[in-house]
Structure 1
């Protein structure tokens, strides 16, 4: 905008003011367009927000599960500890599935189709043996012991059925095959069950399972050796040293992932780690997430 001068004639001043007015008018139009565009964009965002609020699912009140899960609040708190909503859905599905599984007296046979695994090929109905979850886990442990001791290894699914025939007799082998299969298909959160199912259905190579178990065994051995006081405790430095010795080619961020999987954050103020708890079947390094880190 130009500033008027005393030496300008009235006509020149008028022209200057007209120019100033035109400049201000154009700026006003630009600002008005920007304002209208902003208002339109705001209204669009507001409509989208209302639609999201209308269709979004509210955060579940997981405490409602306490009264329906066997064991009540204490057991639910134990099952739910440290899990996100997606994981809690899996836990709840397993709990419901377990109750339904125990109510079944028989399983319908799947027939003899090519898509049916050989160890499940039968017509009619087969008995549900209704073992406990612990019974199934112990049975799978015994199966793995026999499998690893084999010199001439047959196909894993054939071995599985042969193992059941040896354990329960030919007459009951098919019933146990269905019973075990339905259990290991249900319990994704149990490492032993989920891995056995993955190998049985050829979703995981048997060698991957064996390597994983060997690595876990080696980790426990090295941590025990580092525990000179035999107290079941390691310092962060001792723990990280063991990890680097077992995984010399892993990058630093992968080592950190392992430490976090063990529950030891960089920000942790803890001086010691109870490493033996990492090797229990519930939680710790038996979980599928850590299996992926170790692979």
Structure 2
């Protein structure tokens, strides 16, 4: 308050000397005090600087002023951005919670999977039934020798090889030794084996081993049955021909050579022994060796034809 009063007195003094025309009168020029003039000049400069300062502040303040319309638009836009930010934060928080939930569930699933796998491994080693491999003894030749120190997987491979190819290791000789005619009852009564045997006085011969596969053996046996039935049906007296009497004649006629017929006969004998786990081959061999009646084959073929006709009519 005191400062304001002092400033007012100074301004009054300045105005007094500044606007007093008597001070500028030539007659009174000598009476003007230099000190008063200096003081008046100083005050004028102060006033000038003060107004300049006010002008500068006014211009500076005016440049920072925004229009009301622009301010309202900016305010609305700011509010919209704030709302959008709040919504995005809410969605982000929701996604973050869902992500944490999925991570927890995935962790639980992985833990359950590991537990189930461990349990499965334990049960597989404890509860898996072991097959009775001794049942293969009568089906696979030399099973005891083949199954020594073998794992279950290796034994399965042996059985698969027996099913697909037969026991090819049973006879790896390049040649067969010819059978001799002796007092063997089978050789004497069976025409097929009798024709394959040689006389004891003749020099021994060797028969080439063709290593007949299952498919070739099956096709040859099928062709033997087909031709036998065809010949029986087209013969004049319709007489039944024994398989043991027919096979060698069929081979001789088919290959146009008795020597080749003997060679194929030995290979048929070897193949039937190797592939006896095949029902068709084993049935043919049992009938050929007299272990089973030929009527069994004809009965099965009739039953098969009857079932096939029934299925066709459906």
Q: What TM-score results when the alignment is normalised by the length of structure 1?
A: 0.45
Larger CA Rg, structure 1 vs 2: 2
Q: What TM-score results when the alignment is normalised by the length of structure 2?
A: 0.43
Q: Which structure carries more helix by proportion?
A: 2
